[in-house]
Amino acid sequence: ALLNILQYPDERLHTVAKPVEQVDERIRKLIADMFETMYESRGIGLAATQVDVHERVVVMDLTEDRSEPRVFINPVIVEKDGETTYEEGCLSVPGIYDTVTRAERVKVEALNEKGEKFTLEADGLLAICVQHELDHLMGIVFVERLSQLKQGRIKTKLKKRQKHTI
Ligand code: QAP
Ligand code: CO
Protein backbone atom coordinates (compact mmCIF):
# COMPACT_ATOMS: atom_id res chain seq x y z
CA ALA A 1 0.00 0.00 0.00
CA LEU A 2 1.09 3.56 -0.66
CA LEU A 3 1.99 5.55 2.44
CA ASN A 4 1.59 9.28 3.01
CA ILE A 5 4.92 11.14 2.97
CA LEU A 6 5.18 13.92 5.58
CA GLN A 7 6.05 17.29 4.05
CA TYR A 8 8.59 19.66 5.58
CA PRO A 9 8.13 21.64 7.87
CA ASP A 10 5.86 19.03 9.53
CA GLU A 11 7.10 18.78 13.12
CA ARG A 12 6.70 14.96 13.07
CA LEU A 13 9.82 14.91 10.84
CA HIS A 14 11.74 15.91 13.99
CA THR A 15 10.81 12.72 15.86
CA VAL A 16 13.77 10.52 16.86
CA ALA A 17 13.17 6.92 15.72
CA LYS A 18 13.45 3.96 18.11
CA PRO A 19 15.38 0.78 17.29
CA VAL A 20 13.39 -2.12 15.82
CA GLU A 21 13.15 -4.83 18.48
CA GLN A 22 12.13 -7.69 16.23
CA VAL A 23 12.38 -8.01 12.46
CA ASP A 24 9.00 -9.63 11.94
CA GLU A 25 6.13 -9.60 9.42
CA ARG A 26 5.01 -6.17 10.60
CA ILE A 27 8.44 -4.72 9.74
CA ARG A 28 8.58 -6.60 6.41
CA LYS A 29 5.14 -5.18 5.48
CA LEU A 30 6.39 -1.69 6.38
CA ILE A 31 9.47 -2.24 4.16
CA ALA A 32 7.32 -3.43 1.22
CA ASP A 33 5.03 -0.39 1.60
CA MET A 34 8.03 1.95 1.86
CA PHE A 35 9.51 0.57 -1.40
CA GLU A 36 6.14 0.94 -3.14
CA THR A 37 5.88 4.53 -1.91
CA MET A 38 9.49 5.41 -2.80
CA TYR A 39 9.27 3.90 -6.30
CA GLU A 40 5.92 5.59 -6.98
CA SER A 41 7.43 8.97 -5.97
CA ARG A 42 10.64 8.36 -7.98
CA GLY A 43 12.89 8.59 -4.92
CA ILE A 44 16.22 6.91 -4.24
CA GLY A 45 15.89 6.76 -0.46
CA LEU A 46 13.13 6.83 2.15
CA ALA A 47 13.29 6.67 5.95
CA ALA A 48 10.38 5.37 8.07
CA THR A 49 10.27 8.78 9.80
CA GLN A 50 9.05 10.28 6.49
CA VAL A 51 5.97 8.03 6.54
CA ASP A 52 5.30 8.82 10.23
CA VAL A 53 6.64 5.51 11.56
CA HIS A 54 9.27 6.27 14.18
CA GLU A 55 11.40 3.13 14.03
CA ARG A 56 14.92 2.76 12.59
CA VAL A 57 14.10 1.50 9.06
CA VAL A 58 15.46 2.87 5.75
CA VAL A 59 14.96 1.72 2.15
CA MET A 60 17.07 2.80 -0.83
CA ASP A 61 17.53 2.04 -4.51
CA LEU A 62 19.99 4.20 -6.40
CA THR A 63 19.51 2.45 -9.75
CA GLU A 64 17.64 3.81 -12.75
CA ASP A 65 15.93 0.44 -13.36
CA ARG A 66 15.05 -0.10 -9.65
CA SER A 67 17.06 -3.31 -9.59
CA GLU A 68 19.04 -2.86 -6.35
CA PRO A 69 16.67 -2.48 -3.42
CA ARG A 70 18.59 -1.98 -0.16
CA VAL A 71 17.16 -2.27 3.35
CA PHE A 72 18.75 -0.95 6.54
CA ILE A 73 17.23 -1.82 9.91
CA ASN A 74 18.79 -0.25 13.02
CA PRO A 75 21.62 1.25 10.92
CA VAL A 76 24.63 2.80 12.66
CA ILE A 77 27.52 4.64 11.03
CA VAL A 78 30.62 3.19 12.68
CA GLU A 79 33.29 4.99 10.61
CA LYS A 80 33.33 8.06 8.42
CA ASP A 81 36.05 10.04 6.69
CA GLY A 82 36.67 12.68 4.07
CA GLU A 83 34.36 15.50 3.04
CA THR A 84 32.21 15.98 -0.03
CA THR A 85 29.32 18.12 -1.22
CA TYR A 86 26.21 17.18 -3.18
CA GLU A 87 23.07 18.94 -4.39
CA GLU A 88 20.53 17.03 -2.28
CA GLY A 89 16.77 16.79 -2.51
CA CYS A 90 14.19 14.95 -0.39
CA LEU A 91 10.75 13.43 -0.93
CA SER A 92 9.63 15.40 2.15
CA VAL A 93 10.86 18.69 0.60
CA PRO A 94 9.66 18.39 -3.02
CA GLY A 95 11.16 20.68 -5.62
CA ILE A 96 13.89 22.00 -3.33
CA TYR A 97 17.53 21.12 -3.92
CA ASP A 98 20.60 22.53 -2.21
CA THR A 99 24.23 21.74 -1.51
CA VAL A 100 25.02 19.80 1.67
CA THR A 101 28.49 18.89 3.00
CA ARG A 102 28.90 15.37 4.39
CA ALA A 103 31.53 12.66 4.91
CA GLU A 104 32.88 11.21 1.67
CA ARG A 105 32.99 7.61 2.92
CA VAL A 106 31.02 5.79 5.60
CA LYS A 107 30.97 2.32 7.09
CA VAL A 108 27.50 1.33 8.24
CA GLU A 109 26.31 -1.66 10.27
CA ALA A 110 22.67 -2.69 10.04
CA LEU A 111 20.25 -5.61 9.86
CA ASN A 112 18.64 -6.80 6.62
CA GLU A 113 14.97 -7.78 6.21
CA LYS A 114 15.81 -11.25 7.59
CA GLY A 115 17.26 -9.73 10.76
CA GLU A 116 20.84 -10.63 9.77
CA LYS A 117 23.65 -8.21 10.52
CA PHE A 118 25.70 -6.80 7.62
CA THR A 119 28.39 -4.18 7.13
CA LEU A 120 28.54 -1.83 4.14
CA GLU A 121 31.41 0.42 3.12
CA ALA A 122 29.99 3.16 0.94
CA ASP A 123 31.31 6.10 -1.04
CA GLY A 124 29.87 8.36 -3.77
CA LEU A 125 26.11 8.86 -3.93
CA LEU A 126 25.47 5.79 -1.74
CA ALA A 127 27.47 7.29 1.14
CA ILE A 128 25.55 10.56 0.82
CA CYS A 129 22.20 8.77 0.70
CA VAL A 130 23.06 6.69 3.80
CA GLN A 131 23.90 9.86 5.75
CA HIS A 132 20.79 11.70 4.48
CA GLU A 133 18.48 8.82 5.48
CA LEU A 134 20.14 8.23 8.87
CA ASP A 135 19.66 11.95 9.55
CA HIS A 136 15.89 11.42 9.08
CA LEU A 137 15.95 8.71 11.77
CA MET A 138 17.48 11.29 14.14
CA GLY A 139 14.80 13.82 13.21
CA ILE A 140 17.02 15.88 10.93
CA VAL A 141 15.92 17.06 7.45
CA PHE A 142 18.71 18.10 4.98
CA VAL A 143 17.33 21.65 5.02
CA GLU A 144 18.46 21.87 8.64
CA ARG A 145 22.05 21.43 7.46
CA LEU A 146 21.77 24.65 5.41
CA SER A 147 22.22 28.23 6.66
CA GLN A 148 19.41 29.82 8.72
CA LEU A 149 18.83 32.23 5.84
CA LYS A 150 18.27 29.39 3.37
CA GLN A 151 16.05 27.50 5.87
CA GLY A 152 13.83 30.54 6.28
CA ARG A 153 13.52 31.02 2.52
CA ILE A 154 12.62 27.36 1.99
CA LYS A 155 9.97 27.41 4.76
CA THR A 156 8.38 30.54 3.29
CA LYS A 157 8.34 29.02 -0.20
CA LEU A 158 6.75 25.74 0.99
CA LYS A 159 4.14 27.49 3.14
CA LYS A 160 3.10 29.69 0.18
CA ARG A 161 2.91 26.62 -2.00
CA GLN A 162 0.73 24.76 0.56
CA LYS A 163 -1.67 27.71 0.70
CA HIS A 164 -2.18 27.48 -3.05
CA THR A 165 -2.23 23.64 -2.76
CA ILE A 166 -0.03 23.23 -5.84
C1 QAP B 1 17.84 11.51 -0.50
O2 QAP B 1 16.11 11.82 -2.02
C3 QAP B 1 19.06 11.90 -1.28
O4 QAP B 1 12.25 17.18 -4.85
C5 QAP B 1 16.78 10.82 -1.32
O6 QAP B 1 10.30 16.60 -6.60
C7 QAP B 1 19.04 12.95 -2.17
O8 QAP B 1 14.87 10.37 -3.14
C9 QAP B 1 20.21 11.22 -1.08
C10 QAP B 1 12.64 13.56 -5.00
C11 QAP B 1 20.18 13.29 -2.87
C12 QAP B 1 21.35 11.55 -1.78
C13 QAP B 1 21.33 12.59 -2.67
C14 QAP B 1 12.84 14.87 -4.64
C15 QAP B 1 11.64 13.26 -5.90
C16 QAP B 1 13.45 12.48 -4.43
C17 QAP B 1 12.06 15.88 -5.19
C18 QAP B 1 15.13 11.52 -2.90
C19 QAP B 1 11.04 15.57 -6.09
C20 QAP B 1 10.85 14.25 -6.44
C21 QAP B 1 14.40 12.65 -3.52
CO1 CO C 1 14.98 12.86 2.73
- Please indicate whether residue 133 is annotated as part of the active site: yes
Q: How many C-beta neighbours within 10 Å does residue 148 have?
A: 8
Burial code of 78-106, b = ≥16 C-beta within 10 A, e = fewer? eebeeeeebebbbbbbeebebebebbbeb
State the pLDDT at residue 103.
98
pLDDT digits (tens, 9 = 90+) for 111-154: 999 999 999 999 999 999 999 999 999 999 999 999 999 999 99
The model's pTM = 0.97
Q: Residue 157 C-alpha to ligand 1 middle, in angstroms? A: 18
Residue 165 has pLDDT above 80, yes or no: no
Terminal-residue alpha carbon distance, the chain: 24
Q: Residue 50 C-alpha to ligand 2 middle, in angstroms? A: 7
Residue 166 has pLDDT above 70, yes or no: no
Q: What is the mean pLDDT of residues 13-35?
A: 98
The SS3 assignment for 72 reads strand
Q: Residue 115 C-alpha to ligand 2 middle, in angstroms? A: 24
- Looking from the CA of 139 toward its CB, the CA atoms found within 13 Å total 9
Mutate to test the pocket of ligand 1, among 91, 98, 134 (most ligand atoms within 8 A of CB): 91
Which numbered atom of ligand 1 lies nearest the CA of 44? 8
State the pLDDT at residue 159.
84
pLDDT digits (tens, 9 = 90+) for 70-126: 999 999 999 999 999 999 999 999 999 999 999 999 999 999 999 999 999 999 999
Of the candidate ranges 14-18, 53-57, 162-166, the one whose mean pLDDT is the lowest: 162-166
Which numbered atom of ligand 1 lies nearest the CA of 88? 11
Tell me what percent of the residues of the chain surpass a pLDDT of 90: 94
For ligand 1, atom 3, which residue shows the shortest CA distance? Answer: 129
Residue 160 has pLDDT above 90, yes or no: no
Residue 163 has pLDDT above 90, yes or no: no
Which numbered atom of ligand 1 lies nearest the CA of 45? 5
For ligand 1, atom 13, which residue shows the shortest CA distance? Answer: 88
